[in-house]
Chain A
């Protein structure tokens, strides 16, 4: 007789319940923020006529794109139980570099190389010097912010035309950022949910969350290298978000990325990713970022005070995270 017992709780649940509760998967509770996003969208479409116009929807997506991209990057490090507070500075830094008045074919690769270097330093400090991720990346936030302010104390300069064109242009009536977004999502999905690298990140995070830190290593997962690569990935996504923002504001701005790291972490957490590591899904993060974008968009359309918007953001975060503790998820 194979061992099987009747008191199995979660394995027997029907598929739709699994989907709704996030149990039986390691995707986290992304159905709840999806419902919230749909509820906000429904409410807005009833109260504000402009909301459902194609212009506004495309505008919403374009507006949300930097946050979505930063949050996806952030997710790579949150999945391993880490955190990257330096992404806001990396975004500002990226816009400052792009406004340096050089050829685009040099500036764009340079932006990614510099971001990768920042991520690599984060990763090395965390894995080799055993500094806590919050402290390591908080230090890096200050370091990079300082350099950015030296490069460009106030906003100014002009970014290469190709950057502006790829953000503000459109194809067949659809803004280009939509296509970029789809491409980024496909790549990120493949890396996080399809590759060995992504699986190993979940393994490392799951090991940390379950108090089995040594298990991934014992089965041949290159832990330090993967952690380092996660921080590099996170930084590079921030650089990409920086390019988007630079294309929108057309110049370099030392403050454009301010507090972006907190919005990114909020989006990831709303999307059902566990900050303790090992649980989460890319679509959850996208939904989380959309919830925040919808709030911002809706408040603008209905002329609600932006201060209330912040409070509502906080309440939604509290509600969603409160409903998805590890224990409730059966993990």
Chain B
């Protein structure tokens, strides 16, 4: 049988980091093709290339045997490739119908929009998905699950041949998933090719025919679903050796410094408890977006949990934490929060290293106190972090990613924090700098600090931490000493729970 889409030797780099290395993918008509891999394996990038959002650096795409190049998403849509992206992409101020037909509105006399026809078509498309929604409702009036379904109805356009569903079930419950599966089977039987990205093993085995596994931007293999077992797939997704990147773990711990109990992230999730001891580094592991970040952001007030008790260094703090003063409250308790996105949330790129480092020191001072230069602290931090720069007055934007990350950590180390809450300690950082950052964190813990880390890179969590909490569906589903953890065990704990 001739393939519908053939992507061959696709490579793509973003800035310095390689997202895809020579990946090939073949989609047959009338099949559901699962795309699996850990977070950051390149699944979404590969699909965004097929959807025309990104352009490949190398490689080519053939559609029904003909080579095509999509410069814009519009080109891919015109070629019959229809996408439901992971992120919500509905405009809140447009109606359901307007969103569904954006960019390809049916027009009537003098290019005016044929609203009646458009609403009818939208109503029919929604009806096919079993949705009883008025197409003239504004998207801002929909619930999250409703938006997700509209998103799917949006992506599933009758005339397309290839459908890309990037984690379409993330916000759906089991009954909704079954409804979606019926639609996918209907499309498959109509001879369409469907790409299905999901982390849920049971979904893959329920509706997919073929599965391709990616890892670190490389193709690991393509198998027929009927011939593989879940364990084999997990092994394909993980299979790499631990490198000698990590410092030795701690042996003794002090008293509990962060105690979280009966914590509920949302009303649908189960309560859980966790604790952090002095000298310890703990990890919040699991698949991406399973509540790890919400937990940390709840502590600084950027997310409001449903219930829970949080004791920081012996003092109970009131939940929900105020968004306006949460960070200050934490800093007063000598707890530093290192956000995931250093460029947008963490650093002042246009200011020198010295300002970036002293920011937390100044934050501890009264508002109108004269600003001390803190020259000694800056010099000590730069030496201990081994930041490679033209000096303390160099702009942070001139540094490499690894050195920027060190400056960000340095801000909290200089401010003499007791506890660090760190999201993605080594995002976009090369291996050498990673190793140095791990050593820094371990040194911090050994001096009586304590750290909570969350990361998309499971291997990093295993190597760096002492204890690993696995989260899934906004709750805790497992706990293990890092020494006994493997990527396999963590994935297993997350997926089987």
Residues of A within 8 A of B (CB): 1-5, 7-11, 23-26, 190, 194-197, 199, 202-203, 205-207, 209-210, 212, 215-221, 278-279, 330-331
Contacts and interface: CB of A to CB of B under 8 A. Distances in A.
B475 to A, nearest CB: 21
Given A26-B93, A212-B89, A216-B91, A194 B132 contact: no
Interface in B62-106: 72-74, 77, 89-94, 98, 102-105
B145 A3 contact: yes
B459 to A, nearest CB: 32
Given A196-B107, A216-B102, A10 B141 contact: yes
A170 to B, nearest CB: 31
Given A3-B131, A196-B112, 4 more contacts: A26-B93, A194-B115, A195-B111, A217-B72
A210 B91 contact: yes
Given A199-B105, A331-B93, A220 B112 contact: no
29 contacts: A1-B176, A2-B149, A3-B176, A5-B143, A5-B145, A10-B141, A11-B141, A25-B138, A190-B110, A194-B112, A196-B111, A199-B98, A199-B105, A203-B91, A210-B92, A215-B91, A216-B103, A217-B73, A218-B89, A219-B73, A219-B74, A219-B77, A219-B89, A219-B103, A220-B72, A278-B91, A330-B140, A331-B92, A331-B93
A190 B130 contact: no
A112 B425 CA distance: 58
A75 to B, nearest CB: 15
Chain B CB within 10 A, most for which of A5, A197, A202, A218: A218
A8 B102 contact: no
Contacts of B53: 218
Interface in B379-420: none
A221 B91 CA distance: 13
Contacts of B149: 2-3
Contact of A199 (B113, B131, B176): B113
A71 B111 CA distance: 24
Interface string B117-159: 0000000000000111100011011110110110000000000
Contacts of A194: 112-113, 115
A219 B102 contact: yes
A207 B145 CA distance: 20
Nearest to A277: B93
B1 interface: no
B91 A212 contact: yes
A27 to B, nearest CB: 10
B175 interface: yes
In the complex, the 5 A-B pairs of residues with the closest C-beta atoms, listed nearest first? A220-B103, A206-B93, A220-B74, A3-B145, A219-B103
B93 A205 contact: yes
A7 B172 CA distance: 17
Contact of B93 (A190, A210, A217, A220): A210
Contacts of B115: 194
A10 B145 CA distance: 16
B252 to A, nearest CB: 47
A202 B111 contact: no
B113 A2 contact: no
B44 to A, nearest CB: 14
Contact of A190 (B91, B112, B132): B112
A206 B99 CA distance: 11
Contacts of A218: 53, 73, 89
Contacts of B112: 190, 194-196
Contact of B146 (A1, A3, A278, A279): A3
A1 to B, nearest CB: 5
Contacts of A195: 110-113
Nearest to B102: A219
B141 A330 contact: yes
Given A2-B149, A5-B143, A216-B102, A24 B138 contact: yes
Contacts of A24: 137-138, 141
Contacts of A7: 143
A206 B94 contact: yes
A206 B91 contact: yes
A7 to B, nearest CB: 8
B71 to A, nearest CB: 12
A220 B113 CA distance: 16
A279 B111 contact: no
A76 B74 CA distance: 25
A24 B139 CA distance: 9
Contacts of B98: 199, 203
A221 B93 contact: no
A121 B94 CA distance: 29
Nearest to B75: A220
Contact of B132 (A4, A8, A9): A4
B73 A2 contact: no
Nearest to B147: A3
Nearest to A190: B112
Tell me which of A2, A206, A221 has the highest count of chain B C-beta atoms within 10 A of its own C-beta: A2
B85 to A, nearest CB: 8
Contacts of A25: 138
A199 B130 CA distance: 27
Contacts of B72: 217, 220
Nearest to A198: B113
Contacts of B107: 196
A178 B440 CA distance: 76
A330 B139 CA distance: 11
Nearest to B103: A220
Contacts of B175: 1
A221 B313 CA distance: 53
Contact of A220 (B77, B90, B132, B138): B77
Given A2-B131, A221-B102, A26 B94 contact: yes
Contacts of B142: 11
Nearest to A5: B143
Contacts of A212: 89, 91
A202 B98 CA distance: 10
Nearest to A206: B93
A8 B143 contact: yes
A1 B132 CA distance: 10
Contacts of A219: 73-74, 77, 89, 102-104
B141 A207 contact: no
Nearest to B146: A3
A207 B176 CA distance: 28
Contacts of B74: 219-220
A2 B53 CA distance: 31
A220 B104 contact: yes
Contact of B143 (A3, A209, A210, A330): A3
B103 A221 contact: yes
Nearest to A195: B112
A190 B94 CA distance: 17
Contact of A209 (B77, B93, B133, B176): B93
B105 A331 contact: no
Contacts of B90: 215
A220 to B, nearest CB: 3
Contacts of A5: 143, 145
Contacts of B148: 3
Contacts of A190: 110, 112
A16 B113 CA distance: 26
B138 A203 contact: no
